[in-house]
Amino acid sequence: MKVVCPLHIEYICRHCRQKIGEVRRPDWSLADAEARLGVSEWTEAERLDSIRMNPSGTMQVYTVCDYCHHAAKENPELLVEGKLLQ
């Protein structure tokens, strides 16, 4: 009998740390999620930079929210200075 743990993925902004969204799919395996969400197409460096597993087993995918994206677009020097939304 195959045991499948409920899959929980959270999307979090890498700059402001706000939760952007989440996916809960009890019928997906980790391989299903990677294939359906395009993670399987990422390089190893992209995976290491953007994905974390927390102690409870939730996959956390770090991305950029709309607010931070627009702030960086309007003020790109903030990214160089490392001060985006501090």
Nearest to 65 by CA among 25, 11, 24: 11
> How many residues can be counted in the chain?
86
Question: pTM (2 decimals)?
Answer: 0.78
Q: Judge contact between 42 and 56, C-beta under 8 A.
A: no
Q: What is the pLDDT of residues 32-77, one digit of tens each?
A: 888 888 888 989 999 999 999 888 889 999 999 999 999 888 988 8
> Coil, strand, or helix at residue 25?
strand
Distance CA 17, CA 10 (A): 11
Domains of the chain: 7-81 (3.10.20)
